[in-house]
Amino acid sequence: MTMNDGTTFGRRLLANPLALAGLLVVATLFAVSFLAPLLAPHDPNAIDLKNILIPPGPEHWLGTDQLGRDILSRMIWGARISLKVGFVAVGIATAVGLLLGTLAGYFGGLTESLIMRIVDLMLCFPSFFLILTVIALLEPSIWNIMAVIGLTGWMGVARLARAEILSIKEREFILAARCEGAGHLRIILRHVLPNALAPVLVSATLGVAGAILTESALSFLGIGVQPPTPSWGNMLTAGKDNLEYAWWLSVFPGIAILVTVLGYNLLGEGIRDALDPRHYRRRR
């Protein structure tokens, strides 16, 4: 992407109010995650049996849970967990999918057939149930969750990268590079991948939302991030047993998950529109 292309992309992205709203949500999540030690008013794991299930008020803005822990502090630290899971899991999925999709699209033939049959085989299994099965066999930890989500979510990226590279590798500048004697690795790294990254970037942005939602679901089921580490998902689990008389235990983490996933989806759609002139013109 040239400097002029980058300026055009930025102008298109900022001209989209929904993308701007998504960018604001994502930027806020980053800020809250990195500044969690400064922003959290209380220790997220500090048990205070004298202040059990206190409703939102001046001392505890979002109330306390069944152990007297401050909900706002736990949500702030839970944002860090969500950010970490989203980016590491999607990073793994994107790296694996981009590598296999590039090999399949560029070399074709037997390599493409073998890789795409593996993709088809993986897609036969419902992703969430596959994750549940693997997590059930492993020790529940945030690192296992990130690895499993990443290693079971690369198929879409692989298919997307393959489709882009199939069209790119026959273009004139690729043929010119071959005529100049450039090797496969040089062509892939300098010519093919830079031109195939735009849709992968959109997919990765949308994938972060999916990874955060998956982690929350796993934590809600009790096989994700384990207490006392605060996670929006395990906060929902703790809240469901007290939902009738302590609504704040479930409502605030639920809103946080909803807003975060919506923000990433809006940003991903905005990036897609800004990168593709056809989408941009149609939206206008």
CATH number of 14-31+63-283, picked from 1.20.140.10, 3.30.1450.10, 1.10.606.20, 1.10.3720.10:
1.10.3720.10
pLDDT digit string (tens) for 19-72? Answer: 999 999 999 999 999 999 999 999 999 988 898 999 999 889 999 998 899 999
Average pLDDT, the chain: 86
Distances from the Cα of 283 to the Cαs of 35, 215, 265, 270, in angstroms? Answer: 36, 33, 16, 10
Residue 215 vs residue 138, higher pLDDT: 215
Give the integer Cα–Cα distance in Å for 44 and 126. Answer: 35
Percent of the chain with pLDDT over 90: 38
Q: Is the pLDDT of residue 258 over 80?
A: yes
What pLDDT shows up at residue 278? 55
**Which run of H or of E encompasses 43?**
none
- Region 207-218: what's the mean pLDDT? 89
- Region 99-106: what's the mean pLDDT? 92
Residue 90 vs residue 132, higher pLDDT: 90
What pLDDT shows up at residue 283? 52
Distances from the Cα of 103 to the Cαs of 44, 97, 110, in angstroms? Answer: 46, 10, 11
Q: Is the pLDDT of residue 1 over 70?
A: no
pLDDT digit string (tens) for 119-158? Answer: 999 888 887 887 888 877 877 778 888 888 998 889 999 9
Return the bridge partners of 64, or none.
70
Q: Specify the pTM.
A: 0.86
**Which run of H or of E encompasses 45?**
none
| Sequence ranges of the domains in the chain | 14-31+63-283
What pLDDT shows up at residue 180? 83
Give the integer Cα–Cα distance in Å for 136 and 279. Answer: 42
Distances from the Cα of 68 to the Cαs of 54, 74, 252, 284, in angstroms? Answer: 8, 11, 16, 51
